[in-house]
Structure 1
């Protein structure tokens, strides 16, 4: 599969890329900083340098043309509400619309546990812009014509991967970034994840089994 991964220098993305390459996928990885291309090349992916905040519709089409799938792991990193909306909402939505236009039918969004219209974060909370932006992006994706999956991991840790998750969690605890990367890779392999919102923690069930149980 030809995959374009957006937000390629993040901690989860850097773990996910070699997994995708090892699975036989052709991975184009989008970064803003040209200094990060060497790190991307070490994963086996092909770096593409562009600023997703500045792309117009034609630019997005050019970026995604030829792709069969899009994986979104980008994020503004918080702190600046304007930039949070520009990246986590506006650029994400623009990428979804472009994916539809160019025929990149599969789309995997990495969101966060608790996102959605009922996220419950008050407007005076510093986290509100992120919660609001991610929820808007998730909703747009779910209403698109794409074969979408929304992954909502809980609090991220740097623990070693266990390869096991709880995909039926009622509340968030924590999950390793390495397990999130494995869920990204596995989600692209399982048709059962298309049209699914998956909120998950570290747990006891093998990732493949947890995703297969979504059938």
Structure 2
């Protein structure tokens, strides 16, 4: 198939392109920074310099390439995220998820694209109530912390844009928090550096449940979605949801850092914001049962325990 991959130079894109090429797909890898051209070409894709916020340019490029599939992996998350100002740091990504998605979807319809696969997120957006393990049928958070509302609005806008369009088969992949090469949770990642510097505390009871995902498994699930996915949403996470109380000290141990200090909820709220408390105490885990069944996909790194220990 001829595939247009937006975000080819990002963490998932760099892992995904070689897998697509290995499957004999013709890949056009798009990215905004011209400095990434050699990187994308070396992975086996035809490089395309493109600003996804330029609707005319997107329409022109897709009209020229005439891909059968568009894969949307665009984000602009800073290498070092400031949790106190997470709303500010996510503004560029929010625009890519709203304006960029609209531009890509509109151009895809005009170009006759058959399938549109878009990256979404399952790390915290589900409602912070009810069952501990959320499925694709469960509601997203109706009252997110204020600093995360714009982020959730952008995620919902992306999903709505992709799934409401009838000109192509729209598929949304809700990835869990990512770890592995080129992510913040890597041997040289910014989160790992902060852990080693004792900058990441354990807040409150640490009862928030996280469902992680290795970058390799994000890529293999995306490849599986090309041939097996139907219109709709798929949670893409590993098999081992775990509370912060378990995974954060384990991660610190794996990277030879001191155990994280404990701080109370009130102090974290005052110093960072209520979203920090929610991320460490209230968020729910995610079920991957639908993806395993319908995509015929099994994560290689079935548990973050194995992934952190062997990969970090």
Q: Bin the TM-score by the shorter chain.
A: 0.7 to 0.9
Q: Deviations over 1:49-84 (max 9, x none)?
A: 12222x13x322212121111000001316345433
The residue number in structure 1 matching 2:294 is 211
- What is the rounded CA distance, in whole Å, between the counterparts of 1:156 and 1:42 in structure 2? 24
Q: Does 1:122 align with 2:131?
A: no
- The answer as to whether partners of 1:186 and 1:208 remain within 8 angstroms in 2 is no
- What is the rounded CA distance, in whole Å, between the counterparts of 2:236 and 2:291 in structure 1? 13
Q: Deviations over 1:136-163 (max 9, x none)?
A: 110111110121111001111118xxxx
1:111 match: secondary structure: strand
Q: Which has the higher helix share?
A: 2
Instruction: Give the structure with higher Rg (CA).
Output: 2
Q: After the TM superposition, which residues 60-209 of structure 1 pair with which residues of structure 2 at under 5 Å, given as runs? A: 60-65=58-63, 66-77=66-77, 79-80=88-89, 82-113=91-122, 115=125, 118-120=140-142, 122=144, 124-125=146-147, 127-145=148-166, 146-158=168-180, 172-190=210-228, 193-203=229-239
Residue 128 of structure 1: CA displacement? 2.5
**Where in structure 1 are there 5+ consecutive unaligned residues?**
160-170
**Where in structure 2 are there 5+ consecutive unaligned residues?**
78-85, 127-138, 182-208, 241-287, 298-312
- The answer as to whether partners of 1:115 and 1:152 remain within 8 angstroms in 2 is no
2:161 match: secondary structure: helix
Residue 111 of structure 1: CA displacement? 0.5
Residue 37 of structure 1: CA displacement? 0.9
Give the count of matched residue pairs. 198
Task: Pick closer, same or farther for the CA change 1:209–1:152 going to 2, 3 Å.
Answer: closer
- What is the rounded CA distance, in whole Å, between the counterparts of 2:143 and 2:98 in structure 1? 16
- The answer as to whether partners of 2:172 and 2:232 remain within 8 angstroms in 1 is yes
Residue 115 of structure 1: CA displacement? 4.7
Q: TM-score, normalised by structure 1?
A: 0.82
- What is the rounded CA distance, in whole Å, between the counterparts of 1:112 and 1:11 in structure 2? 15
- What is the rounded CA distance, in whole Å, between the counterparts of 2:58 and 2:3 in structure 1? 14
- What is the rounded CA distance, in whole Å, between the counterparts of 1:42 and 1:20 in structure 2? 14
Q: TM-score, normalised by structure 2?
A: 0.58
RMSD between aligned residues:
2.7
- What is the rounded CA distance, in whole Å, between the counterparts of 1:97 and 1:91 in structure 2? 10
